[in-house]
Amino acid sequence: MISLIQRYNFWGLLSLVNNLMITKLFFPRAKLIRSPFYIRGIAFIEIGKNFIAGVGLRMDAFPDKEKICIRIGDNVQINDYVHIGAVDSLTIGNNVLIASRVFISDHNHGFYGNSSEQSIPEVPPAKRKLSFASVCIEDNVWIGEGVGILPGVRIGKGSIIGCGAIVTRDVPECCLAVGNPARVIKKYSFKTKKWENI
């Protein structure tokens, strides 16, 4: 069996102990949040039991009115340099695994869709009115390295999002989606017990 010193080395073990103390002091339900991290609007974020986060976690919650706008379920593991931002509603279910360098947001700076309200390029992006649509990542989802999940997306229970995918529309339950924009290429069959091509 590998000892903690073999796994982390002396300085790594000291850093781990420090991170554990900070986690338990500020986030008692979490298991471990590694430093450095940046969390803005902590009053509007709900974190479930056994949450683990790698270094460089950034969470921004800034709703119009006082309400929880980021909800993270139990047993969620987020790896390094993940950015999660919400102004309205962003939910991550239970037992979700998120790789490094993932971006998840329920909002944009401006309006660019088919609505009557449109943003003008002459207005600096930081001054454009925020548009938003709820994001929901259901239970048992695995999100690969470098993924972007954009406003208005629901990722169904048990699905996998492949590395580098940009998710712009819903992904059904138990599907594998890849690409930019992400598209479903496989679905798990409970009949054959295999991931089958679509």
Q: Which residues are catalytic?
A: 109
CA 89 – CA 94 distance, rounded (Å): 16
Assess contact for 143 and 149: CB atoms under 8 A.
Answer: yes
Assess contact for 198 and 186: CB atoms under 8 A.
Answer: yes
DSSP per-residue codes, 55-80? TTEEEEE--SSSS--EEE-TT-EE-S
Closest CA to 185 of 160, 155, 156: 160
